[in-house]
Amino acid sequence: MTFTSPQHLIRLLRKAFPAPHAIHTTNGLEWRSRVELRLIKASAYIRASPEWVAVWQQNNGPLEQWAVDIAEQFELTERDVAYVLAELEYYVVLQTKAAANITHSSVDMVWTAAKSFAKNELAENLNHHSKALEHSLRRDKAWARHYLEQSCNEKTARTVVLLDPSLYPLMYDTSQVLAQPIDSLEDALNLSTRGVAPKSFEQWVEAVTAINDTMDRLAIVNSHREIDIDIMVPTCCDSQQWPQPKHGCWLPTEFAIDSDGIARALSYINNLHPVWHTAMYTYIEQAFTMFVPLLEQVLTDLVHLRELRVPVDVSKCVTFDSPHPEELDLGLRRFYLPIETSMTWDEWAEGIEYTEPEPTPFVMPRRPFTPYALRNTCVQAAVKMSTIEIPQGCSEYSECMWQAAGNDECIIATGVYFYDVTNIDHIEMQFRESVKCSVECSGNKKEALRLVYGDGQRNHTHGMYKYPNVPRSLNITNAKLVCIPNIYQHKIMLRLKDAADSGHVKMLVFYFVNPAARILSTKVVPPQQQSWWAERVFSTLPLCSLPYEIVENILKYVTLPVSFDEACKRRNLFEAKHFATN
């Protein structure tokens, strides 16, 4: 497979997402009509079968039974069925051109990898070292108090976070930045208090400009620059541009990808000690490498977003013989006076003429079958490790909120690696999109939108109607890796295989930053963990001879680096303002 230059992909990403801080909405997607949603569901119904591409190829085309099934199940017309079958042919070509064991899922732009793609040895190593990491964390009373005791409930499932990107993030009022990049992972431990802490937006501009200038000078000396895009100034800390300025953002790690797609970490992973957990760095790099072909496919999808399958002109689809009863004598209604009208609701409804829109003939999308490359470039990603534990007797687990994390970090995609699944027979991810905007309407216009797009969600305070696209689900029980574009909100559902026993799912998650929009990372922000700094400082002479009680008292007066308890307080405040959920 031949690849295009990564610079070409970066140019396309800049064009597709000129406002990288809002990728998960991108000003919203176009509204999808009820007809289009039926087409999407019908296509997903067939593509949900793991062997559907092989069946197509053996049959040299679609099975006749497929047309019958989707027509009956989704109430499709002949024209609808023809569109779905033509679209399936496109997905067959897209799938056959993809790398082995990489699959375009039944949900548009979501790519998965089968169990055979992920190496069992890597999963075993991650599982082994994650247990060691969890064991070391559980010995820390402060960690247990914040991450275990608050979520402990013997009857309900809980999530235990081992690597939390919201802990010790980049805080715009306290975090320090360095004038030049950190040379190595171990060097990062010696620089915890060496940077400067910008206190205003102007100081942030000055600090980031200095970093970019330094990187440019180093690139001239070394004849190349691994990171060839300037770092963005965190504008969301500017109170003049943002009515509610943000407190901070995640700190991603820099991963360099070579010509073979092999990734290596250029900077430390936030909250993962670079010396104590050296082996874990190696395994996380290997996991990142597995995501490279999936991420390339997702980014290629994003820069060539599909146009609507069924373009709709609402005014041509719905006509009315008379005004809506609510609109009659509107002036009197404003003063809450009783209204008498000769028109009944049934008479008004009989005067509505609705012509259901139809799909235009399928046209092959402009998306190239060969994905754009990320080879020989650098990608930033925040790293998270967590475990969902389902206790005995609690047969199912479902996240209660839709997640679309990373708006302030320009997150463009999320990669989830399920490296340990125990006593779970069903894993499902649900997705939904945000539409472009809410519409203030009433009367006939409201009814027209309802007929074309379905029932909306009304904001009773402002009379606004929003039509979120219907959630779609993806069974990923047989997948190990899932890569999701951040235009979707998502949540996970699990079901135990044996309800008489407990079960768990361990996940390694990468939040990929838009390659065309670099942000401040652990390459220029030194570690903020007080325990790392204290271990370094109090292990040298003469401080290493101090009694533990004295060291503990000294640390009470140290405000930088930040103590774990203080970091947890800031984490709670940070997460309350950070996640895009509802």
Span 271-328, pLDDT tens digits: 999 999 999 999 999 999 999 999 999 999 999 999 899 998 888 888 887 776 666 5
Asked, as a colleague might, if the bond just before 561 is cis with ω within 30 of 0, I would say yes
User: Please, which residues have CB within 8 angstroms of residue 497's CB and are 6 or more apart in sequence?
Assistant: 423, 424, 425, 503
Residue 157 in this model has a pLDDT that exceeds 90? no
Helix, strand, coil tally for the chain in percent (to 5): 35, 20, 40
Residue 531 in this model has a pLDDT that exceeds 50? yes
Q: Give me the pLDDT at residue 579, please.
A: 55
Lowest mean pLDDT among 105-109, 184-188, 273-277, 471-475: 471-475
Residue whose pair of structure tokens reads 């548009």 in the numeric block: 108
The vertex-26 CA angle with 582 and 521, nearest 5°, equals 85
Residue 515 in this model has a pLDDT that exceeds 70? yes
Task: Tell me if residue 211 falls in helix, strand or coil.
Answer: helix
Q: Give me the pLDDT at residue 462, please.
A: 46
> Mean of the pLDDT values across residues 177-202?
89
Round to whole Å and give the CA distance between 161 and 346: 57
Q: Give me the pLDDT at residue 215, please.
A: 80
Q: What is the pTM of this model?
A: 0.90
Q: Give me the pLDDT at residue 220, please.
A: 52
Structure tokens at 217: 């000078």
In terms of Cα–Cα distance, which of 451, 453, 467 is closest to 320?
451
Q: What is the dihedral of CA 514, 178, 285, 411, to 10 degrees?
A: -20
Round to whole Å and give the CA distance between 474 and 13: 26
Give yes or no for a contact between 255 and 285, defined as CB atoms under 8 angstroms apart: yes
Strands (E), 141-294: 158-163, 170-171, 248-249, 253-257, 263-265
* SS3 readout for 40-106: HHHHHHHHCCCCHHHHHHHHCCCCHHHHHHHHHHHCCCHHHHHHHHHHHHHHHHHHHHCCCCEEECC
> Mean of the pLDDT values across residues 47-63?
92
Residue 338 in this model has a pLDDT that exceeds 60? no
Q: Taking the CA atoms of 399, 508, 248 and 301 in sequence, report the sign of the dihedral they define.
A: negative
Q: Give me the pLDDT at residue 327, please.
A: 62
Q: How far apart are the first and last CA of the chain?
A: 42
> What is the average pLDDT value for the chain, to the nearest integer?
83
> Mean of the pLDDT values across residues 524-536?
89
Asked, as a colleague might, if the bond just before 542 is cis with ω within 30 of 0, I would say yes
> Mean of the pLDDT values across residues 2-8?
69
Ranked by mean pLDDT, the top range of 85-89, 237-241, 340-344, 444-448 is 85-89
Round to whole Å and give the CA distance between 17 and 538: 48
Residue 332 in this model has a pLDDT that exceeds 50? no
**More confident site: 452 or 237:** 452
Cα 306 to the center of its chain, rounded Å: 19
Q: Give me the pLDDT at residue 469, please.
A: 61
Q: What length is written for the chain?
A: 582
- What radius of gyration do the chain's Cα atoms show? 27
Residue 22 in this model has a pLDDT that exceeds 70? no
Q: Give me the pLDDT at residue 415, please.
A: 97
Q: 159 pairs with which residues across the strands?
A: 388
DSSP one-letter string for 292-326 = HHHHHHHHHHHHTPPPPSS---HHHHEEESS--GG
**More confident site: 84 or 360:** 84
Lowest mean pLDDT among 150-159, 367-376, 396-405: 150-159
- Counting Cβ atoms within 10 Å, is residue 244 exposed (0-12), middle (13-18) or buried (19+)? exposed
pLDDT in tens, 421-473: 999 988 999 988 877 666 556 677 778 888 888 876 555 444 555 555 666 78
Round to whole Å and give the CA distance between 361 and 314: 20
Q: Give me the pLDDT at residue 331, please.
A: 47
Give yes or no for a contact between 440 and 462, defined as CB atoms under 8 angstroms apart: yes
Q: Give me the pLDDT at residue 340, please.
A: 53
User: Please, which residues have CB within 8 angstroms of residue 251's CB and are 6 or more apart in sequence?
Assistant: 165, 168, 169, 170, 270, 382, 520, 521, 522, 525
Percent of the chain with pLDDT over 70: 81
Residue 333 in this model has a pLDDT that exceeds 50? no
Q: Give me the pLDDT at residue 166, please.
A: 92
Round to whole Å and give the CA distance between 258 and 101: 21
pLDDT in tens, 543-582: 776 777 887 777 777 777 888 888 998 888 887 766 544 3
Round to whole Å and give the CA distance between 95 and 121: 27
pLDDT in tens, 247-276: 788 999 999 999 999 999 999 999 999 999
Q: Are strands 488-496 and 158-163 parallel, antiparallel or unpaired?
A: unpaired
Percent of the chain with pLDDT over 90: 43
> Mean of the pLDDT values across residues 18-27?
56
Q: Give me the pLDDT at residue 293, please.
A: 96
Q: Give me the pLDDT at residue 471, please.
A: 65
Compute how many other C-beta atoms are within 10 angstroms of the C-beta atom of residue 209: 13
Residue whose pair of structure tokens reads 């687990």 in the numeric block: 397
Structure tokens at 365: 């999308």
Query: φ and ψ at 267, to 5 degrees?
Result: -145, 165
Q: Give me the pLDDT at residue 432, please.
A: 85
Lowest mean pLDDT among 48-57, 194-203, 248-257, 466-475: 466-475
User: Please, which residues have CB within 8 angstroms of residue 366's CB and are 6 or more apart in sequence?
Assistant: 304
Give yes or no for a contact between 357 and 315, defined as CB atoms under 8 angstroms apart: no
| pLDDT bucket at 484, cuts 50 / 70 / 90 | very high
In terms of Cα–Cα distance, which of 32, 91, 100, 5 is closest to 359?
32
Q: Give me the pLDDT at residue 359, please.
A: 93
**More confident site: 436 or 23:** 436
Q: Give me the pLDDT at residue 111, please.
A: 96
